[in-house]
Amino acid sequence: MKGETVYVLDKGWVELQDVMGDDLAIVNAARVSYLGESKGPEQDRKLLLYLLHHKHTSPFEQVEFKFRVKAPLFVARQWMRHRTWSYNEMSRRYTSDEIDFYYPTAWRKQSQANKQASDEMLSDPKATATADEMIHEIVAKCDTTYQSLLSLGVSREMARMVLPQNLYTQFVAKVDAHNLMHFFRLRMSDDAQYEIRLYAQAIYHGFFKKVLPWTAGAFEETLHWG
Ligand SMILES: Cc1cc2nc3c(=O)[nH]c(=O)nc-3n(C[C@H](O)[C@H](O)[C@H](O)COP(=O)(O)OP(=O)(O)OC[C@H]3O[C@@H](n4cnc5c(N)ncnc54)[C@H](O)[C@@H]3O)c2cc1C
């Protein structure tokens, strides 16, 4: 599990760099209240559900995950609003290497019901082709301008200003299981942007469910309880 990578979007990925703890670590942390430990799978699973249902959240903080992520800037910006994670990100003040851009495979239309969301796909092939052409054209122009500014001797910290939001960045991010479940609730939800939803789902199915199968079962049961 540690060292495994799940792939997201056209060039993105999430690598599980480290993990500390398992379902039993949560169970045993909860039972330290009365100096107890595991009471067997059935009782332990029930306990995890009870803890989640009653928002007895601190035992879930005993399990930690560390990821290395490659994601477009606009996804990273949404991600880093989650203040309970610890982050370190690559800096375009230090490096002009690995300039990769995200190109969507389809275009979503503006939702009429939700001002900040998208819903149906842009189905008109002519409009889709024009949108594809436009993004490739402007991104190529940004990339060329960036390289030209560097060639002129402009500093990396200034030249980066012309790079667009679909530029990929990389960061390491550490979080405990309680705050990771909070991230899942918000970012796997239908109203989260499609691209960050894919990252949240990749972490959930690729790592979380495998490291914490009992907790994931309880999480899924409580997901719609409010
Ligand atoms: C669909 C969607 C749309 C969004 N749209 C916008 C938008 O238009 N504009 C915008 O600015 N943001 C937007 N956000 C970001 C959102 O407001 C949160 O910043 C982000 O989801 C992180 O959530 P959080 O603060 O609960 O998580 P975390 O920062 O991980 O915090 C987890 C919990 O810890 C507690 N906590 C953490 N820090 C503090 C603190 N300083 N004081 C008190 N309690 C704290 C809170 O209970 C919080 O819920 C959006 C998020 C989503 C999911």
- Ligand 1 atom at minimum distance from 83 CA: 29
Q: What is the pLDDT of residue 60?
A: 98
Sheet strands (E) in the chain: 5-8, 12-20, 64-72, 86-89, 108-110, 118-121, 168-176
Sequence-ordered list of residues with C-beta below 8 angstroms from that of 91, at least 6 positions apart, any chain: none
Going from the Cα of 76 to the center of ligand 1, the distance in angstroms, rounded, reads 14
Our answer on whether the CB atom of 55 is closer than 6 Å to any ligand 1 atom is no
Are the CB atoms for 31 and 37 separated by under 8 Å? yes
- Angle among Cα 219, 14, 82 to the nearest 5 degrees reads 60
Average pLDDT, the chain: 95
As a whole-number percent, the residues of the chain with pLDDT over 90 amount to 86
Are the CB atoms for 78 and 146 separated by under 8 Å? no
Q: Is the pLDDT of residue 226 over 60?
A: no
Q: Identify the residue whose C-alpha is closest to ligand 1 atom 33.
A: 84
pLDDT band at 6 (very low <50, low <70, confident <90, very high): very high
Kindly state the DSSP code that residue 207 receives in the 8-state scheme.
Answer: I
Q: Token pair 């122009």 is at which residue?
A: 141
Query: How many residues comprise the chain?
Result: 226
pLDDT in tens, 56-95: 999 999 999 999 999 999 999 999 999 999 999 999 999 9
Q: What is the pTM of this model?
A: 0.95
Question: Strand 168-176's sheet: what is its strand order?
Answer: 5-8, 12-20, 64-72, 168-176, 86-89
Our answer on whether the CB atom of 114 is closer than 6 Å to any ligand 1 atom is no
Q: In testing the pocket of ligand 1, which one of 186, 187, 195 has its CB within 8 Å of the most ligand atoms?
A: 186
pLDDT in tens, 30-42: 998 777 787 888 9
Sheet strands (E) in 62-130: 64-72, 86-89, 108-110, 118-121
Going from the Cα of 82 to the center of ligand 1, the distance in angstroms, rounded, reads 6
- What is the gyration radius of the CA atoms in the chain, in angstroms? 21
Across the range 133-141, mean pLDDT stands at: 98
Q: Identify the residue whose C-alpha is closest to ligand 1 atom 27.
A: 82
Our answer on whether the CB atom of 81 is closer than 6 Å to any ligand 1 atom is yes
Q: Identify the residue whose C-alpha is closest to ligand 1 atom 22.
A: 82
